[in-house]
Structure 1
Amino acid sequence: MEPLDTLLAAHRAYLLGWDIGATGGPDLVTYRSGVPHASLNGVLRVSGRAPRDALAEARERLDGVPRLWWAGPDSDAGTADTLVTLGAVPLGEMPIMAVEIDRAAPAPIPAGLRIAETAELDEFVGAYSRVSGIRPEGVAATVEREKAFAGDGTVVRLAGRLDDGRVVGTAVAWLSHGLLTLFFVGTQPEHRRRGIGAAMTRAALDLAAEHGVRTAALTASAAGEPVYRRLGFRTVGTFRLLSF
């Protein structure tokens, strides 16, 4: 298993690939995509900075867009609690999960589903936006940022299609820092509880293994966590998410 610091660095690297703003130094790492969706703008790390000053600078850099503060194991201890005393709003916790790919459980591909890499961004982004809560008016901006993505690694976008061509499942496989990090794993609401999410995740694991990658990681939503646990993922850390 890769060290937690490596998992966190890969997570930062992906979100920084969306950035069109000032990322700052390692003491206050921010990313700003300009997409009107909180998870695509925010603070990734604060270290060795007075919380009040860090909060003021983050607000200045990210003014005008919805944003998140990811208070994780790579930030100063007590960051989340201190930010709350300064007016940040706690949104909940998100587990950081990982698995050694060769120990992950299998997941059958549901009948009628084909999973393959896609370059059709309009369709792909439209599908994951619906699941992720990106509003329709933000989809075009999300497509443009996907086209311009410039992260330190390789992105593979996997689409799960039915026989009629409709995209019902998505997964972004991010190959960076010697591991796989998963983003935008989702299933269209009307097709859930068929094993599509597990199949999309397993397809990404298989792809990573073909590239010699041994470890996979992700941050799990409440709905996704049970699926990942069944595949063998285990919690290795936690992000506390805040709005500010």
Structure 2
Amino acid sequence: MKPLDTVLAAHRAYLLGWNIGVAGGPGHPTYRSDVPHAPLNGVLRVVGRTPQDALSEARTRLHGVPRIWWVGPESDAGTADGLVSLGAAQVARMPIMTVGIGAVPEVPTPAGVRIAETADLATFVPAYARVSGIPADGVAATIEREKAFTGEGTVLRLAGHLDDGRIVATAVAWISHGLVTLYFVGTQPAQRRRGIGAAMTRAALTLAAERGARTAALTSTAVAESVYRSLGFRPVGEFRLLTF
């Protein structure tokens, strides 16, 4: 298993791959995609800065876009509470979860679903946008940022198709720092509770293992945590997500 600091470094590398413009220094990295979706614009940590100074700089860098602040284990102690005292609002607590890929059980793909890699961003991005909350008027910008993604690693995009070709589930596997981190894992509402999300996750890990990854990581919503636990993922840390 990879240590937590490596997991966090891989997470930073993915989100910084969405960035346009200035990203900030190592003690206060920010990323801005200009996509109108808060998780794609934000702050990744604060080290050696007062919350007030960090918040002032972040507001300048991220002015005009929805954004979040990932306050995790590598930020200075007291950062989250300091930001809240300055007017930031906590919107979620998300566990950071990892698993050794070799320990993940096999998962059957539900009948009528076919999971495969895809390079068709014109259909893939709208599918994950509907599930993750990216507004319709932000899809075009998301596609352009996906095309221009500059992260140091490998992106694998998986789509779950029905027999009629419709995409009902998505997953993005980011291979960096010797592990795979998962993003945009989601299933369209009408197809949930069929085991598609678990199958998508297992398929993504299989592809990543074929490319040398041995550890998998992700951040989970409360709704999805039980699914990931059933696959063997366990919490190793936590992010407090703030808006500002």
Aligned residue in 1 for 2:81: 81
- Distance across 1 between alignment mates of 2:243 and 2:171: 26
SS, match of residue 158 in structure 2: strand
SS, match of residue 66 in structure 1: coil
The 5 Å alignment of 1:1-244 reads 1-244=1-244
Taking structure 2 as the reference length, what is the TM-score of the superposition? Answer: 0.99
SS, match of residue 152 in structure 1: coil
Shift of 1:92: 1.8
SS, match of residue 93 in structure 1: strand
Shift of 1:21: 2.4
**Identical amino acids, percent of aligned pairs:** 72
SS, match of residue 5 in structure 1: helix
- Where in structure 1 do 4 or more consecutive aligned residues deviate above 6 Å? none
SS, match of residue 46 in structure 1: coil
- Distance across 2 between alignment mates of 1:92 and 1:127: 24
Shift of 1:208: 1.1
* 1:25-49 deviation digits (Å, cap 9, x = unpaired): 1110000000011000000011000
Shift of 1:182: 0.2
* 1:148-171 deviation digits (Å, cap 9, x = unpaired): 111010001000101111100100
Shift of 1:207: 0.7
* 1:109-134 deviation digits (Å, cap 9, x = unpaired): 00111111101101100000000000
- Distance across 2 between alignment mates of 1:231 and 1:172: 17
- Distance across 1 between alignment mates of 2:152 and 2:45: 17
- Distance across 1 between alignment mates of 2:159 and 2:97: 22
- Distance across 1 between alignment mates of 2:223 and 2:145: 26
2:210 corresponds to which letter in structure 1? Answer: E
Count matched residues. 244
Shift of 1:219: 0.4
SS, match of residue 28 in structure 1: coil
Taking structure 1 as the reference length, what is the TM-score of the superposition? Answer: 0.99
- Distance across 2 between alignment mates of 1:229 and 1:168: 22
Shift of 1:22: 1.3
- Distance across 2 between alignment mates of 1:221 and 1:144: 26
In structure 2, the gaps of 5 or more residues are none
